[in-house]
Chain A
Amino acid sequence: MSAKILVVDDEPQIRRMMRATLSSNGYQVDEAKTGEEALEKLRSYQPDLVLLDLNMPGMGGIEACRAMREGSDVPIIILTVRNAEKEKVEALDAGADDYVSKPFGMQELMARIRAALRRIPGATEGAPHSFASDDLEIDFDGRRVRVNDKSVRLTPKEFDLLRHLVAHGGKPVPHRELLQAVWGPDYGDETDYLRVFINHLRKKIEPDPSRPKYVLTEPWVGYRFHIPEDS
């Protein structure tokens, strides 16, 4: 069963090109012309991945991305003509998994799509199956997280990031290694991705995100998962 991709773009020629190239690469494709239509298709078509244009009339890409994130953890790749750092962070902050600027080479896009669809296999050798402390429970096999006995929804990338940090049991993980483990071998320099995702993660699992006790920053190196003494 091949993955289903929803292409959201207001430009008909781009939708045509994307449909042809993606189908040829073995994906199933559906299209949406606006942000509103994309939300509709997210329910009816149930895509495995969304390619989302930022610059659309009506509900813009950022807004659509945020709305999709409210009810779904589907991977979202932003495709945009804008290439400013500020916009990239804004898109990732709105819940996007990746960001590709137009025009792009098809090989690059395919690599990004594969990375977004890829899941780290559930139980790698030596990796923990679960983690529990006073206020945080993680079930790695079931991909479930509970904070203070309340279920918390993490996006696949956030979950994989958390798992990779926990798997290193308190040792710092360098930026590059984290990026390649979670996004794929083509990544490594996108430290801004990590910054945004770690922030999301802290907001979801830390009791006080501004003073994290689990996900700690190792200056100039990377991040590490701190296991509290009493757990």
Chain B
Amino acid sequence: MPEVVQEDLCALRSKSPRDCRSNTVRVVRSGNQNDFVFKLRVQHSVPALSKRMHPHRTSASGLDGRLTRRLRWARLRYIEYGTVSRTLQAAIRLVSSVALVGAIIFVYYRVVPANSVTVALTLVLAILGVAARWGYAESIAASIAGMLGLDYFFLPPIGKLTISDPENWVALAAFLVTAVTASELSVRARHRAAETIARRQEVERLYALGQTLLLSGSVRSAARDIVNSIIRTFEMPGAVFFNQLTGEFFRSDVRGSISDEQLRRVAETGEPLIDAHAQIAIVPIRLGGQSSGSLGFVGCTLSEAALNALAYLVAIGIERAKTIEETNKAEAARQSEVLKATLLDALAHDLKTPLTSIKGAVTHLLAKPHDAEELELLTIANEEADRLNRLVVEVLEMARIDASKLHPDRAPHSIMDIIQATLKEQEESLKGRKIELHVPPALPAADVDFDFIQQVLKQLLDNATNYSLPGAPLTISAQAEGERIVVSVADEGKGIPVDEQARIFDKFYRGRAWREKVLGTGLGLSIAKGIVEAHGGKIWVTSAPGEGSVFSFAVPAFKGELVS
């Protein structure tokens, strides 16, 4: 017997004898140091090894390709331990049961003489004990020994294995049948008890795993805890968890026996993979029909029911960790939004307060008579205060749009009303221009925030006046298109070069030809875009150099009944 294996056997005995019980494999070594020869006699376990190696002789170097060195040693240890203990123990038990029968017969024959019925009943009792304690094979051996003993020593003719009275044939047959049947029942009861213990153990382990999962804070740590505690509580050689959401694999140290591909396939199809030969099991992790990954076991000894329960438990654990993680994230995002909004308000207040003093003072002075020079300077101060204010308002508005804090207060409004309110407000800047209006009288109401859409329209009119020649006509039109209302502002300016059309709604972008000529922040159109998009609409431009530009936006038409 190889020395290394012996050493490992000792270590293993203290660890996990349970797992070795069913293996009976003989391992011998021959030839030189590095050349192991495996001769396997498999009873009913370690199918991975049996399938691959039995009955061939396989060298260790050949084996390397199929099993990792680590796994090979792990299995060798199990196998070796099982060989010694099982065969020896079985032999001892067989001999002991026969010896027990012999002892009973000896006592009744030599020490306390009794009739054949007493002996037979005592033997049945003993055989029941053997069956309950050891098993079927031992009790059958004891039954046969008992029958022979009973016949030889107590049934006439005594001292011979023949029977004279036919009645005794019946008695002997009854004895054998009773002993065998009782043994069978007893063994079955024992198996059931063992199974109950195993199930209870599984439940206890599932409970322990559940507790571990409840303590995990994040999905990552939950996944790690799952793998670790499965190995620990279920005493499995290895486990691997595949998190489908992140595509991560959490493996214990057995690499290779379950492939990434297998795990992925089980997670995708939802079909469990239980390979008794390869001794692996992979179950999908699903909750409410939604897959979150799969869980693989190496050297799996769990029942299918336990596997399903385990998968369900893990699914709940992962879901719980995910919920906690999402809640934390949402809370952090909310707090950051609150902080941003508070900062914006503080900024608005702090910038506008000095502007209010300046604007108030300058406009007061402007109302008084001045010479031309004073008037010019005060006008500049006033205009610049306005410009600064516009800048503050636009930057704040852009920040609100970026923070998704723009909440249009939508209601049915007539587009014509909005157009007229805007034209009235822009009266000064539109002076001297011919405005053409094309709005059908039966245009349905738009489902919009009046002030916001007025702001968009004002921006488009500003653009049209700023980027076309003074006095050039403008056209405003509106029409229903399906469930949307499209509003357009057309100018007869120079138009926008094609390469600039895509960028014109970008923040701070300003047309090349106009950067020096027109004052502005470059935010107006991106704010208009933000407002229109907050309504679920869109904004676009069509333009050809030399032929003017048409800025259009579409907003939803009001769908419900109009009630006053």
Interface residues of A (CB under 8 A from B): 11, 13-14, 16-18, 20-21, 24, 55, 81-83, 85-86, 102-107, 109, 189, 217, 219-220
Contact = CB atoms under 8 A, between A and B. Distances in A.
Given A217-B564, A219-B564, A102 B353 contact: yes
B364 interface: yes
5 contacts: A14-B357, A17-B356, A21-B364, A102-B356, A103-B389
B343 interface: no
Contacts of B389: 103
B348 A81 contact: yes
A21 B361 contact: yes
A85 B409 contact: yes
A55 B353 CA distance: 11
Contacts of A13: 353-354, 357
A107 B363 contact: yes
B451 interface: yes
B423 to A, nearest CB: 12
Given A17-B361, A85-B451, A217-B564, A103 B356 contact: yes
B497 interface: no
B349 A81 contact: yes
Nearest to A10: B353
Interface centre among B352, B382, B393, B564 (most CB of A within 10 A): B352
Contacts, number: 63
Interface centre among A83, A102, A220 (most CB of B within 10 A): A102
B256 interface: no
B360 interface: yes
B391 interface: no
B502 interface: no
Nearest to B359: A103
Interface centre among B357, B358, B367 (most CB of A within 10 A): B357
Contacts of B345: 82
Given A81-B353, A85-B451, 5 more contacts: A82-B345, A85-B409, A103-B385, A103-B389, A106-B364
B357 A17 contact: yes
Given A85-B409, A189-B421, A106 B363 contact: yes
A89 B363 CA distance: 27
A85 B393 CA distance: 15
B53 interface: no
Contacts of B236: none
B352 A81 contact: yes
B513 to A, nearest CB: 32
A26 B349 CA distance: 29
Nearest to A188: B424
A229 B20 CA distance: 103
Contacts of A82: 345, 348
Contacts of A107: 363, 367
A18 B360 contact: yes
A81 B392 CA distance: 11
Interface string B366-401: 010000000000000010010001000100000000
B100 interface: no
Contacts of B349: 55, 81
B355 interface: yes
Given A13-B354, A81-B349, A106 B564 contact: no
A104 B353 contact: no
B363 A220 contact: no
A24 B353 contact: no
Contacts of B451: 85
Given A20-B361, A21-B360, A102 B355 contact: yes
